Amino acid sequence: MDILTPSNWTDYELLDSGNGKRLERFGKYILVRPDPQILWKPKLHPTEWDKVDAVFERSSEDKGNWDIKTEIPEKWEMDYKNLKFYAKLTPFKHTGVFPEQSVQWDFIQNVILNAVKNLKDPSVSPQDDNKRPRILNLFAYTGIATLAAAEAGAKVTHVDASKSTIAWARENQTLSGLEDKPIRWILDDTLKFVEREVRRNAKYDGIIMDPPAFGHGPTGGMWKFNDNFPQLLNACKQLLSDQPLFILINAYAISSSSLMLENVLQDLNLNGRIEVGELALKEKESNRLLSTGIFGRWYH
């Protein structure tokens, strides 16, 4: 099993962690957010924890409020390499940016760039543009992985059950200057959409998914990871093209380990390589690691 951590990202830092909280910098704003797995003590002096712009205070199991200490705009710009996107303070403690995912954005781009390198040859006819990889991004949220794939040269289908987060993702597309990239935006229940795509005999070269532990579709359908994930993965296998590039799975707040992802990926019986492990953030000063979720990926 691997532990993947971001590196050399100037727009994000995990400054410290301890006593059930994270101290983080998103762009130029410093935030404190709860994290129940943090049972250890902070390393920085308490005065450093006082130099914050906003603190998230939980009011229920899945919601809360931000105690804003300074002037923070409704949204602010962040960037990662060539990608630009907005961060916002949401009532679910998230900012729309999951920094640990930057290692996956790199993976997505590297695989796609390798697949399309022949298309950049001037001798390749324009008709061959139809051979660009088709990528399906499920539970796609604010769309940074979608933009990473599109910027690398793929045609992307972005699926999410939230109208507001799709609007946010489209804002990110405009901010990144990727309006001309072929992205199809789908507001739908993920499992229902995938099953319809199977009936349509649609094919994709790569599939990205960030399934939550629990969720609701746009028409009230319920998603439960342990009940629905095996069904989704089996349907996704039927969507793979004859020469697929990758399957990438990220999972948060579930009771299973990355060994589960390794086992279910092995069940697909695909020739290639499987990697599983944890996504983690490294503290700026101490290099102490904070686990944020698990991942599994299959690729050639």
Q: What is the CATH number of the domain that holds 58?
A: 2.60.40.1180
The candidate with the shortest Cα–Cα distance to 116, out of 22, 245, 248, is 245
Averaged pLDDT of the chain = 93
Instruction: Note whether 269 and 204 are same-domain residues.
Output: yes
Task: Please work out, in degrees rounded to the nearest 5, the angle formed at the alpha carbon of residue 150 by the alpha carbons of 110 and 182.
Answer: 150
Q: pLDDT at residue 216 above 80? A: no
User: What pLDDT, on a 0 to 100 scale, did the predictor assign at position 123?
Assistant: 54
Q: Are residues 119 and 258 located together in one domain of the fold? A: yes
- What mean pLDDT do residues 252-264 have? 91
Establish if 49 belongs to a structural domain: yes
pLDDT tens-place string over residues 186-210: 999 999 999 999 999 999 999 999 9
Per the structure, how many domains does the chain have? 2
The answer on 170 and 108 residing in a single domain is yes
Q: How confident is the model at residue 117 (pLDDT cuts 50, 70, 90)?
A: confident
Q: What is the mean pLDDT of residues 73-100?
A: 97
For residues 66 and 110, state if they share a domain. no
What is the separation, in whole angstroms, between the first and last Cα of the chain?
18
Average pLDDT (260-281) is: 97
* pLDDT tens, position by position, 59-79: 776 678 999 999 999 999 999
Could you tell me if 57 and 105 lie in one domain?
Answer: no
pLDDT value for 131: 78
Confidence of residue 58 (pLDDT cuts 50, 70, 90): confident
Q: Determine the average pLDDT of the residues in 252-268.
A: 92
pLDDT band at 217 (very low <50, low <70, confident <90, very high): confident
* pTM exceeds 0.85, yes or no: yes
| pLDDT score at 73 | 97
Per cent of the chain over pLDDT 90 is: 83
For residue 121, is pLDDT > 70? Answer: no
Range of the domain at 213: 99-299
State residue 62's pLDDT score: 66
Give pLDDT, residue 151: 97
Band of the pLDDT at 127, cuts 50, 70, 90?
very low
| Per-residue confidence band for 90, with pLDDT thresholds at 50, 70 and 90 | very high
Q: Is the model's pLDDT at 43 over the cut of 90?
A: yes
- Residue 121 and residue 261 share a domain: yes
The domain that contains 287 carries what CATH number?
Answer: 3.40.50.150
Q: What is the pLDDT of residues 151-178, one digit of tens each?
A: 999 999 999 999 999 999 999 999 999 9
Q: Clarify whether residues 19 and 109 are in a common domain.
A: no
Domain membership of residue 205 (yes or no) is yes
Let me know if residue 85 belongs to a domain. Answer: no
